Amino acid sequence: MNKGEDSNLWENVHQASKIYILPNVFTTGNLFFGFLSIILCIQARFHPAEQTEGTMKSLATLLTSGNAPKDSSTAYYLLAIICILASFFCDALDGRVARASGKMSLFGKEFDSLSDSISFGVAPGLLTFFLILQPAESMSETYRSLLKNTGWLIGFVFMLCAAIRLARFNVLTNPYIMGHEKYETGDFCGLPAPAAAGAVASIALTMLSFDLGAYTPLLIPLMILIAWLMVSNIPYPSFKHINWTTSMRFRSFVALIVCLILIVYLKEYSFAIIFLTYVFWSPIKYSPRAIKAIKYKYKKIRAGSK
């Protein structure tokens, strides 16, 4: 951790709870954008159209490549989604800044997780509840009845999985627990909550941009799957130790260039492609190994029953 190679880590509570300005500024930015996203979601749901400020529509139009939102609620939802994505980038920077400056502390780690629970648990849960899990006239009677009774539960399950994921991460990387180095420097155990929230937010952004409200029922199983991946044991690649001096393989370099091209040409639509690629990369990569393990266990069970 941030005491470097000192085997004693922090000598006392005061040292472990130091608040370093620069990394915690980014963490505060993460929390701020998450809180702002929640406010915007509430305004999108309950703010009357005639009272909507023109600046909100103008700002939403500016941030979505000049595509003017069709109504005031869409403008608020678009800004709420942009805030979640802004939280993601703040979260990606705070740890890098702390490691680069050697200013890491237990306070910063806990503050980061508490901020993440708001920005990547409550904010996307509320966004999807209002935008996806609410009954709409375009849906069939069956789906409307289903969402009326279970929509809130699906949103809660996503938020619950994000909170469990963050709590488990803090335990696995606790510097006072033996073996924490494996999880501190290696792959993530389960889908990271920021990536899950980014995937949900980018899907909602694409849905609003292309006016795909009629297809929202198809997103419900995907949201449940993303929630399950957060609490799974599937390894996900970690990019937190990549910096300007890091070398990479040729195919990784090509993938990076492709991502940059997508961002330039597809703009806001590129986020859904990038996040969903990350979400499903590991399950697809490790599925052959999982199938072999299941077959092996099945053979052992059959052999034991004979």
pLDDT tens for residues 241-258? 666 566 667 777 787 788
pLDDT tens for residues 58-92? 555 555 555 555 667 778 888 899 999 999 999 98
Using CB atoms within 10 Å of the CB of residue 301, give its burial: 0 to 12 exposed, 13 to 18 middle, 19+ buried.
exposed
Low-confidence stretches of the chain (pLDDT beneath 70)? 1-12, 14-16, 48-71, 135-140, 179-185, 211-215, 240-248, 302-306
Find out if CATH 3.40.718.10 is the number for domain 13-248: no
236 φ, ψ (degrees, to nearest 5): -120, 140
- The whole-model pTM stands at 0.81
CA distances to 23, 39, 92, 107, 201 from 172, in Å:
22, 33, 19, 16, 27
Domain boundary assignment for the chain: 13-248
